[in-house]
Structure 1
Amino acid sequence: MRFSKMTSKVTSGTVSVTVSAAVAISASPFVPAPDPAPAPTAAIHNEIRIPHEARKTGNTPQRLKGRFIEIKGGPIECASENPELADSLTRDIAKSLKNRDSRAAMVLYDRTTRTSCTYRADKHYDSASIVKPIILGALLLARRTHLSEDERDLAREMIVHSDNDATYTLWDRLGPEKIQKFLDRAGMKNTTLDEAGFMGLTQVTARDQAKLLELLTGDDNSVLDADERGYILDLMHDVQKDQRWGTPAGAPSDAAVQVKNGWLQRSESGLKNPWDRGDWKVNSMSAFTNHSYDYGLVVLTENNRVPESESPDVGWDYGMATIEGVAKAVHHNLYPDRIPVAAGSPGRT
């Protein structure tokens, strides 16, 4: 057992964990820290700093126009060759998060429009199931394309159906050293594996997850070759319909969507503590390709609380709504003339 005195409810893609207060978890102690006070204004500012994703996609500070808005939690920063696009993205992302209790983080990159946005990009969050493409990347780095039939079956179950048993089978076969080797090769320096071996408590950042999407959709063969990258994207493209919510919401209907979501209800002291009703961590990441599309979006959330009078699933729904609000703002601003796809059923090709 990975934790002593732990009860665990496992369904597809979901881990509900109740850990006694005496159990040590390798992540930082789970204490609800208050968000910083909101800034007095939400004015757009010119900004010299260029987010990391803009540099990664070949943009230069001389050609990009940067904007930022201070909201609770920090600045939302967008940069683009098109200053009007940077303005509207910054405003609409801020608007989508303005009245949300979720603690969110996000990264957007768009190679086509040469645009990027970040918010709390380097803050750590419990990964839940968005760690699973990392595990598959580590498997391919270790085995290259020489996967056994059993490993291919496990990989499909892990990504397409978000099966946790399949994930732990591959996690245990690889071991932390090989998974860490992939993280190092991929430049995901701020991702930390859980020392107790619980995959859903891997500490991730929105920036590192965006690096993973950039790696998978790019043309750099130094970590994984084109066939290996395509294999991961194909499985993310085939994720079952009821798990295709979140960042795909509002995406252009003619885009190919490669998605992986994660959700985890984590509690250290049980549901009797007034503040701890089972804080939901809800995350979503997608790469959008096909035709002229070449962009990625990562949104991570926590602090999706469950009111005393409500079903525990309310926290999960709240986190998903926060993510989809950000996603719709992003897709609408990037491609306002395209027909959006309904949430939960992103376009396929």
Structure 2
Amino acid sequence: MGSAHAATPQAAICTSDQPGLADKLSEDINAALDGSTATTAISLHDRTTNTTCTLDADRTFDSASTVKVTVLGTLLWDAQKDGRALTQEEKDRATAMITKSDNDATTALWKQLGADKINGFLQAAGMTDTVLDGEGHWGLTQITANDEEKLLNLVTHANPVLSEDSRGYILKLTSEVIPSQRWGTPAGAPGDAQVHVKNGWLERATNGWRVHSLGAFTGGDHDYTITVLSQDNATMDDGIANIEGVARAVHRDLNAPASSAR
């Protein structure tokens, strides 16, 4: 039903140190996308089992509000270099930008930082396929699933780019996103996981709705990140359902007993 026109004909490719898990994930992710007419890109990494899955992960998409994590990363990285804490105004804007996806706060921080600093952070983070919009529209930043996974990896694990305090601040804010914006990759997450999420959504005249979700899942025995980017969704709800189908499959497979993977 529409699958003949599906824009994501590729299959998810997974690898894992856990026997059977890669094949199970590939099968279940592909089944979740069966019949979807959206163009979908996926990149995920589970450190516990050294599992990765990718699907069209180098395809570029308009970022919409997912770029707000990059803005916050740049703000903290720049403050680190200056050896200073964030001002109260910066904290207020960062909180609004991440927890409520406030666009005015984002624009203020984007203008404060400027393209040079944002590009500097992207270079430091190894996000070499992420390209800022030439006219300065932050929501039209070109992103890839692989680059967003690099960012989530920086946020969740020690590295020379973001300090422990900076990483903790990003994790804190992304765990406090308002309920109405906690859709997407958190769908089906285990109850004992600490959920961190930032989503993006944007409708344009071409390629329909862009609907994206970045998720990190920590605490307990959980240590994994999921990026799903999509466009050509007829509605925002279609995009959310598409992402949540993938997310439920991933959470189920990563958290199943090892003996059940086959």
Q: Which amino acid aligns with 2:136?
A: G
Q: Deviations over 1:298-318 (max 9, x none)?
A: 00010012xxxxxxxxx1000
Distance in 1 of aligned mates of 2:121 and 2:8: 34
Partner of 1:241: 179
Partner of 2:74: 138
Q: Which of 226, 230, 241 pairs up with 1:297? A: 226
CA shift, 1:224, in A, is 1.0
Distance in 2 of aligned mates of 1:206 and 1:73: 17
Q: Which of 52, 58, 62 pairs up with 1:122? A: 58
Q: Deviations over 1:272-314 (max 9, x none)?
A: xxxx5x8110000100000111000000010012xxxxxxxxx
Q: Which amino acid aligns with 2:191?
A: S
The answer on whether the counterparts of 1:136 and 1:155 sit within 8 Å (CA) in structure 2 is yes
Partner of 1:178: 117
The answer on whether the counterparts of 2:59 and 2:145 sit within 8 Å (CA) in structure 1 is yes
Partner of 1:60: none
| Residue 210 (structure 1) aligned with residue 149 (structure 2) | yes
Distance in 2 of aligned mates of 1:36 and 1:214: 35
The answer on whether the counterparts of 2:8 and 2:40 sit within 8 Å (CA) in structure 1 is no
Distance in 1 of aligned mates of 2:158 and 2:114: 28
Distance in 2 of aligned mates of 1:296 and 1:95: 20
More strand by share: 1
CA shift, 1:213, in A, is 0.5
Structure 2: gaps spanning 5 or more residues = 258-262
The answer on whether the counterparts of 2:45 and 2:224 sit within 8 Å (CA) in structure 1 is yes
Q: Specify whether residues 72 and 156 from structure 1 end up closer, same or farther in structure 2 by C-alpha distance, changes over 3 A only.
A: closer
The answer on whether the counterparts of 1:73 and 1:120 sit within 8 Å (CA) in structure 2 is no
Distance in 2 of aligned mates of 1:37 and 1:239: 35
CA shift, 1:203, in A, is 0.5
Partner of 1:152: 91
Distance in 2 of aligned mates of 1:136 and 1:227: 13
Give aligned pairs, total.
252
Distance in 2 of aligned mates of 1:94 and 1:172: 40
Map residues 22-37 of structure 1 onto 2, 5 A cutoff.
none
Q: Deviations over 1:50-82 (max 9, x none)?
A: xxxxxxxxxxxxxxxxxxxxx943231000112
Partner of 2:169: 231
Aligned-CA RMSD value: 1.7
Partner of 2:256: 336
**Bigger Rg, structure 1 or 2:** 1
Partner of 1:266: 204
CA shift, 1:132, in A, is 0.2
CA shift, 1:245, in A, is 0.4
| Residue 84 (structure 1) aligned with residue 13 (structure 2) | no
Structure of higher RCO (CA pairs closer than 8 Å, 6+ residues apart) = 2
User: SS of the counterpart of 2:43?
Assistant: strand
TM-score under structure 2 normalisation? 0.93
Distance in 2 of aligned mates of 1:78 and 1:230: 29
| Residue 194 (structure 1) aligned with residue 133 (structure 2) | yes
Which runs of 4 or more aligned residues in structure 1 lie more than 2 Å from their structure 2 counterparts after TM superposition? 35-38, 71-75
Distance in 1 of aligned mates of 2:33 and 2:5: 14
Partner of 1:164: 103
User: SS of the counterpart of 1:172?
Assistant: helix
Distance in 1 of aligned mates of 2:202 and 2:194: 27
Q: Which amino acid aligns with 2:228?
A: V
Report the identity percentage: 49
CA shift, 1:90, in A, is 0.6
Distance in 2 of aligned mates of 1:304 and 1:175: 32
| Residue 323 (structure 1) aligned with residue 262 (structure 2) | no
User: SS of the counterpart of 1:192?
Assistant: coil
Q: Which of 95, 99, 106 pairs up with 2:35? A: 99
Partner of 1:66: none
TM-score under structure 1 normalisation? 0.70
Q: Deviations over 1:311-345 (max 9, x none)?
A: xxxx10000000000000100001136xxxxxxxx
User: SS of the counterpart of 1:74?
Assistant: coil
User: SS of the counterpart of 2:232?
Assistant: strand
Distance in 2 of aligned mates of 1:235 and 1:336: 29
